């Protein structure tokens, strides 16, 4: 399946501001061939555990949470996609996953550290997911169930190496204990806001250069 990668202009336009609160809106999509992603996001957005109480996600679920980044309030709009969207290679699931990934500023790739097959499935789908988003989209690779160390099948080193080779941020986290969830999403938000500010600064520099060029041209003409 051929996927048209969004342009840099599309991604810049997608970073909008909530007209009511004035907060920056950031779209984050969670992908991964594992169950329990909803429990993870629920823990982050509410501070409460919901382990074992959440039914499998069909399609996607939407969550929202405001976080503070360098003095600014940022609203994370999080789309938790169903495990089957990442695990399957069928045309329909690929099309649906593409819809959710459109104009995403950040993507969290999730696997289960106690299930090697989940890591392999995710690894096989990464290239497709990357083609669905702009090259400036921030990625985080997250290994879940960090609290179940006795059942670990995917070593931390394997996850770290995979992430490092692709320029992804890497975390291992636990929905049961809440470990590393705030750090993960704050890291993602900070990187996206930093890129936004850098883009704005580059735009001002570019505009200044254009104006200077025009002034020089006028001075040469008269």
Q: How many domains does the chain divide into?
A: 1
- pLDDT, tens digit, for every residue of 202-213? 665 544 444 454
Q: Does 55 fall in a domain?
A: yes
> What is the rounded distance in angstroms from the CA atom of residue 131 to the CA atom of residue 98?
9
pLDDT, position 219: 36
SS3 218: helix
Token reading at 129? 């997911």
- Asked whether residue 2 is assigned to any structural domain, the reply reads no
Q: Is residue 78 part of a domain?
A: yes
* Per-residue pLDDT tens digits for 118-166: 999 888 889 888 988 988 899 999 999 999 999 999 999 999 999 999 9
What is the CATH number for 64?
A: 3.40.50.300
Cα distances (angstroms) measured from residue 40 to each of 48, 71, 201: 10, 26, 35
Residue 221 pLDDT: 35
Give me the pLDDT at residue 176, please.
Answer: 83
Q: What percent of the chain has pLDDT over 70?
A: 73
In-domain check, residue 1: no
Distance of alpha carbon 166 from alpha carbon 179, whole angstroms = 24
Select from 194, 17, 188 the least CA-distant residue to 109.
188
**In angstroms, rounded to a whole number, what is the distance separating the alpha carbons of residues 193 and 160?**
24
pLDDT value of position 50: 62
pLDDT, residue 220, reads: 37
For 54, the domain range is 8-221
Q: Is 132 helix (H, G, I), strand (E, B) or coil?
A: coil
Q: What is the distance between the alpha carbons of residues 72 and 189, in angstroms, rounded to a whole number?
A: 11
Token pair for residue 117?
A: 């097959």
Q: What is the pLDDT of residue 148?
A: 94
**Intervals of the chain under pLDDT 70:** 1-15, 19, 35, 49-59, 83-94, 202-222
Distances (CA, A) of 129 to 64, 98, 123, 125: 22, 8, 10, 6
Residue 142 lies in a domain: yes
| Residue 3 domain-assigned (yes or no) | no
In contact, 136 and 57? CB cutoff 8 Å:
no
């Amino acid at each position: 399946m051929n996927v048209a990668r969004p342009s840099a202009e599309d991604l810049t336009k997608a970073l909008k501001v909530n007209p009511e609160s004035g907060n920056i809106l950031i779209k984050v999509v969670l992908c991964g061939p594992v169950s329990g992603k909803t429990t993870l996001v629920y823990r982050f957005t509410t501070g409460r555990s919901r382990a074992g109480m959440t039914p499998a996600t069909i399609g996607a679920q939407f969550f929202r949470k405001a976080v503070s980044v360098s003095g600014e309030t940022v609203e994370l709009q999080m789309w938790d996609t169903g495990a089957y969207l990442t695990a399957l290679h069928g045309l329909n699931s690929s099309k649906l996953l593409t819809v959710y990934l459109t104009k995403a500023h950040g993507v969290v790739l999730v696997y289960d550290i106690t299930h090697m097959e989940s890591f392999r499935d995710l690894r096989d789908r990464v290239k497709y997911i990357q083609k669905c988003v702009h090259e400036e989209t921030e990625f985080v690779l997250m290994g879940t169930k960090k609290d179940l160390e006795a059942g670990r099948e995917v070593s931390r080193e394997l996850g770290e190496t995979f992430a490092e080779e692709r320029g992804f941020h890497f975390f291992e986290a636990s929905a049961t204990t809440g470990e590393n969830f705030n750090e993960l999403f704050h890291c993602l938000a900070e990187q996206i806001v930093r890129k936004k500010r850098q883009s704005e600064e580059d735009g001002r520099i570019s505009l200044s250069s254009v104006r200077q060029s025009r002034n020089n041209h006028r001075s040469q003409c008269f």
